[in-house]
Amino acid sequence: MSSRICNWKALSTLAAATVGVLWAGSLQSQPASLIADSVTYDEKTGLLTATGDVEAVYGTRVLHAQTLVYDEKAEEIRATGPISVTDIDGTIFLADAAQLSPDFSAGLIQGGRLLIADQLQLAASEIERTGSRYTALQRTIASSCVICAENPVPTWSIRAKRVTLDEQEERIYFEGARFEVLGAPIAYLPAMSIPDPRISRSSGFLLPSYHQSDLFGSGVKLPYYLTLGPSADITVTPFVTTDGATLFEGEYRREFRNGGIDLGGTLALDDGSGDSGRGAVDASGEFRLPRGFTSEFQLEFASDKSFLQEFDYSDDDRLTSYLQVDRVRSYDYLHLGTVGFQSLREDEDDGSVPFILPEYEYNYRGAMPGAIGGLFGLNANALGITREEGRDVLRAGGGADWQQRWIFGNGLVTNATLAGDFDIYGVGSDPDGDDGGKFRAVPIASTEVSYPLQRNSARATHVIEPIAQLVWSEDLGSSNVPNEDSQLPELDETNLFALNRYPGRDRVETGLRANLGLRYNRYDADGWSLGATMGRVVRATDDNEFPEGSGLAGKWSDYVGAVSVRFQTGFEVTNRALFDGELNFRRNEFALSYEDDRTELETSYTYFAEDSTNEILGPQPEINELGIEASYRFLPNWGLELLWRYDVVTEQNLKAGGALVYGNECAEFELSISRRFTSSVNLDPSTSIQFDVKLAGLGDGESQDWPSRDCRLKGA
């Protein structure tokens, strides 16, 4: 039966002193309480003794022990365990026995263990508290791994002769330390320090990573992280390889009240062949502006076409930089920006790459007043394109549209659209000499009729919807305006019912045409669903407007179809196809994905028929590729990842890679290998190997994706 004592002064001293000293922190005047099965006070000896399920509460800290004794004459506190102290921040302290002074300035703890932020465990033969700042641990082992009786050897640990916790600096210092993996010594560290896991940011070295490639040999990256106040930091990473390359990677991050920036880059002091100054920049930022505006920027740059691939930074063949300001409201959208490109393609002339300024777009949508009803919209836009070599274009335009929908009692749905656009062009430095100003106006009218039909049964719900859309538009004015943004039109199920199937504004689909299609959906009672779309376009006249490979050429277009099936088990299958009137495939894209607790799978098959009529890109060969990306956790703590791309036409591999991953609650080890089979003017095919380590409690957060044993150190 719990009891309380009346000597409140002694009680407060005992509770506050015991919890405070064991916790190794400074104390302030706070209420204290003590609960135990038995509490006695001997006035002759001056001993206050609490026994049996003792609980002392002081502020946010709670102490549990078997026995607590406060000796007023000796000015000493003695506690026998098991002893545990928990705090509101989740830190847990365990000990077998303690002998402490009541002024909290000194103490000796036998068999102490400390669990900080539910991550880092420190076990020591003795713990000594000196002052209100330092706690020293003798003959210590530190780890964030679960240690079980069945498997007492942690995945990783640090054994040290002496460990010092500095409350003021919020760091943990190791002397005479040895880093071990699975009990085997890996490195001897005479002196090292790590941040206190209770803090989220602290300067210091991060874990290194190992890289190997046929192009640069073997190399090691050793990042150093430096905090710059509460809202900024910088990471500097030397990268040295056996082939003589020396690179420095840097990243500066800063958060502001209205946004943040992330500035990164790499500089090669020596690329391994004696050249210096090669490198790359990758920077981004986003800010909230007054009146609902947001701004965003991205800067990507490489010193040459091969640097990023050579040192395994990126496989991109084109870099994009931009600066933009946007505002999105319920009734309008505004965008203003500039865009620049850098081509890393071997066969693309840098002088022909465009620079865009300005890029402006405004759209407004509102309800049509009066009896007409419906929605009306207004738009305005501008686009400027300049090149070092080639045509310069400035385009400005706008337009308006009206849309209305009627749903009749029998379920028939009808839509009507009226729209008009205009554009003014200014052209300079045209290779064909077609400079000067141009004007174009485009009226558009369309009506659409659909009749969705639904049938319900005990097994499934079926919805079938035939759709017919009649569209007329015309290109009035200059017929030879520049084409910068509409060079590669194509037909698919997403634009079957679009008013204009060109991807941009420079080209407009004209004439009278009918877009015909059928949609079908099945929703099964077992939870899986099926969706399918099929259709084609028929024109009043064949104006030879579209290239043959687009699927839109001729009076009758090719057939477009798409089928998707989704299962509750995690399977999803999608197929999109384009085939001509004789059912010969022009394009087919198949994708299968599956996901559950242990498996992620994405497969793709892409086919594009040979096209000798492409006026923009020139004759295009047949594309027939197979791709697989998969990860599988074959054991609770082991995972396998796979990447493979294969060219069916040439019967050659394009890229392959894999990774073996081991992880638990305190560590993650990943060994990956990749092979690029394609070559370029500057780079031969190459193989790359990388080894990465993450350790919880040493700068890396605890991974929640990997299972751990359920014997993690906990408080009483």
Q: 15-66: per-residue pLDDT in tens?
A: 555 555 454 444 444 556 778 888 888 888 888 888 888 887 767 778 788 8
Q: Is the pLDDT of residue 407 over 50?
A: yes
Token readout for 59 is: 């502020």
> What band does 97 get if pLDDT is binned at 50, 70 and 90?
confident
Q: Please tell me the predicted confidence (pLDDT) of residue 623.
A: 93
SS3 content of the chain, % helix, strand, coil (to 5): 5, 60, 35
123 against 455, higher pLDDT: 455
Mean pLDDT across the stretch 356-362? 96
Q: At residue 4, what is the residue type? A: R
Q: What is the pLDDT of residue 7?
A: 43
Q: Hey, which of 139-143, 430-434, 542-546, 627-631 has the most confident mean pLDDT?
A: 627-631
In the chain, the amino acid numbered 324 is Q
The set of residues, in sequence order, having a beta carbon less than 8 Å from that of 536 and lying 6+ positions away, is: 516, 517, 556, 557, 558, 559, 560
pLDDT at 245 over 90: yes
One-letter amino acid for residue 451 of the chain = Y
In this predicted structure, what is the pLDDT of residue 429? 92
Other CB atoms within 10 Å distance of the CB of residue 221? 18
pLDDT of 354 reads 94
Task: Give the mean pLDDT of 203-225.
Answer: 92
Structure-token pair, residue 171: 């760091």
Domains of the chain: which residue ranges?
A: 8-205
CB atoms within 10 A of CB 105: 12
pLDDT tens figures, 589-642: 999 999 998 999 999 999 999 888 777 777 888 999 999 999 999 999 999 999
Q: Which CATH superfamily is domain 8-205 in?
A: Lipopolysaccharide (LPS) transport protein A like domain (2.60.450.10)
Structure tokens at 680: 């370029």
Alpha-carbon gap, residue 428 to 352, rounded angstroms: 14
Here the tokens at position 598 are 């242990």
HEC sequence for 479-526? CCCCCCCCCCCCCCCCCCCCCCCCCCCCCCCCEEEEEEEEEEEEEECC
Rounded to whole angstroms, the Cα distance separating 480 from 567 reads: 50
- On whether the CB atoms of residues 471 and 516 are closer than 8 A, the answer is no
Question: What pLDDT score was predicted for residue 15?
Answer: 53
Q: What is the pLDDT, as a whole number, of residue 240?
A: 96
Could you give the CA distance from residue 97 to residue 583 in angstroms, rounded to a whole number? 84
160 has a pLDDT exceeding 50? yes
The answer to whether 362 and 388 are in contact (CB under 8 A) is no
Q: Is 463's pLDDT higher than 70?
A: yes
Q: Report which of 300, 301, 296 is spatially closest to residue 286, judged by C-alpha positions.
A: 296
Give the sign of the dihedral formed by CA 123, CA 124, CA 125, CA 130. Answer: negative
pLDDT value, residue 34: 76
Residues 634 and 628: their CA atoms lie apart, in Å, by 18
Taken in order 272, 273, 276, 277, the sign of the CA dihedral is negative
Is residue 179 within 8 Å of 156, Cβ to Cβ?
A: yes
What pLDDT does residue 61 have? 73
pLDDT at 447: 98
pLDDT at 112 over 90: no
Mean pLDDT, rounded, for 268-273: 94
pLDDT of residue 286: 98
The mean of the pLDDT values for the chain is 87
Q: What is the pLDDT of residues 302-319, one digit of tens each?
A: 999 999 999 999 989 899
Q: Is 382 helix (H, G, I), strand (E, B) or coil?
A: strand
Tell me the average pLDDT across 545-570: 93
CB atoms within 10 A of CB 681: 8
- Three-state DSSP class for residue 89: coil
Whole-model pTM? 0.82
pLDDT at 3 over 90: no
**What pLDDT, on the 0 to 100 scale, is given for residue 21?**
47
DSSP 300-326: EEESSSSHHHHTTS---SEEEEEEEEE
Determine which of 270-279, 380-389, 531-540, 616-625 has the lowest per-residue pLDDT on average. Answer: 616-625
Residues 6+ apart with CB under 8 A from 44: none
